[in-house]
């Protein structure tokens, strides 16, 4: 299976940082998965279920998400979001502060085969950030754009002296993303083979998808149950 994709889309790092400076003057929230990290890992929302900047929960399972007041102040980031022609759920800025560590963990169901398309666009980073997915270390440069399979075990440590900030976009899979992923070498054949899972694995996946409680996860649960 495809663990990650580095897209051809590249963005202006300085314009991103200019708009980050606006966000940095506001109140950020500590990430809700407190058991999964040490140090300071903070977030602020650009689009959330409630439309509030301090609502940083992902996978709400609501029909529509609302732009926050902050996003309306960030025209360059808004133009980036508009260029991704797919449904979008939560959109956040995530800041990993110096010395902070996101422990090895998996986000069950958070990958393309399950309809989730989590995009990372680094805005500010440093050479001492270690980003590990399975047994690989990725170098995510400022202004680049990535899909990562977060159903794989992953961990991040900021050993540098500056805060690392990413724009994180939770997209839903559609025909536009399929075309984009195929153009970047996504292995559809391997995906089809992976869906032929045993009953025990299928039930575990269903349990995780039920926890996500989104329209996309409900559809995936229905599809999985047909094959059990």
**pLDDT tens figures, 116-168:** 999 999 999 999 999 999 999 999 999 999 999 999 999 999 999 999 999 99
Ordered structural domains, the chain, with CATH: 4-181 (2.60.120.330), 195-226 (no CATH)
**pLDDT tens figures, 168-192:** 999 999 999 999 999 999 987 777 6
**Confidence (pLDDT) at 42:** 97
34 secondary structure, DSSP code? G
**Confidence (pLDDT) at 223:** 67
Question: What tokens were used for 206?
Answer: 């269903």
DSSP string over 112-167: GGGTEEEEEEEEE--TTEEEEETTEEE---TT--EEE-TTS-EEEEE-SSS-EEEE
The answer, yes or no, to whether residue 197 has pLDDT greater than 60, is no
Predicted model pTM: 0.84
| 114 CA to centre of own chain | 13
The answer, yes or no, to whether residue 60 has pLDDT greater than 70, is no
**Confidence (pLDDT) at 35:** 87
CA distance 42 to 165: 9
- Contact yes or no for 26/74 (Cβ under 8 A): no
- Contact yes or no for 104/156 (Cβ under 8 A): no
Question: What tokens were used for 158?
Answer: 């900021």
Task: Give 117's strand partners.
Answer: 171
- Contact yes or no for 123/17 (Cβ under 8 A): yes
CA distances from 119 to 1, 189, 198, 204, 227 (A): 17, 22, 29, 25, 29
The answer, yes or no, to whether residue 71 has pLDDT greater than 80, is yes
* Residue 201 banded pLDDT, cuts 50, 70, 90: low
Question: What tokens were used for 89?
Answer: 């759920």
* Residue 198 banded pLDDT, cuts 50, 70, 90: low
Question: What tokens were used for 112?
Answer: 């393309």
Mean pLDDT of the 192-211 span: 69
CA distances from 173 to 91, 136, 146 (A): 15, 25, 15
**Confidence (pLDDT) at 64:** 83
Average pLDDT, the chain: 90
Lowest-confidence pick of 2-16, 112-126, 173-187, 196-210? 196-210
**Confidence (pLDDT) at 32:** 85
Dmax (CA) of the chain = 51
**Confidence (pLDDT) at 46:** 98
* Residue 43 banded pLDDT, cuts 50, 70, 90: very high
CA distance 6 to 88: 19
**Confidence (pLDDT) at 10:** 97
**Confidence (pLDDT) at 61:** 60
Question: What tokens were used for 5?
Answer: 């994709």
């Amino acid at each position: 299976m495809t663990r990650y994709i580095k897209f051809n889309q590249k963005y202006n790092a300085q314009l991103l940082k200019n708009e980050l400076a606006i966000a940095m003057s506001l109140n950020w929230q500590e990430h809700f998965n407190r058991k999964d990290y040490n140090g300071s890992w903070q977030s602020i929302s650009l689009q959330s279920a409630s439309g509030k900047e301090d609502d940083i929960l992902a996978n709400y399972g609501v029909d529509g998400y609302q732009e926050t007041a902050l996003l309306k102040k960030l025209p360059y980031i808004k133009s980036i979001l508009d260029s991704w022609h797919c449904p979008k759920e939560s959109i956040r800025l995530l800041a990993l502060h110096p010395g902070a560590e996101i422990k090895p963990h998996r986000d069950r169901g958070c990958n393309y085969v399950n309809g989730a398309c989590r995009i990372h666009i680094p805005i500010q980073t440093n050479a001492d950030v270690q980003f590990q997915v399975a047994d690989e270390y990725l170098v995510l440069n400022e202004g680049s754009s990535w899909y990562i399979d977060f159903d794989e075990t992953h961990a991040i440590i900021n050993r540098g002296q500056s805060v690392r900030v990413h724009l994180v976009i939770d997209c839903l899979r559609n025909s536009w993303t399929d075309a984009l992923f195929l153009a970047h070498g996504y292995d559809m054949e391997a995906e089809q083979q992976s869906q032929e899972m045993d009953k025990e694995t299928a039930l575990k996946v269903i349990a995780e998808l039920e926890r996500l409680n989104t329209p996309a996860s409900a559809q995936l649960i229905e599809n999985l149950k047909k094959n059990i």
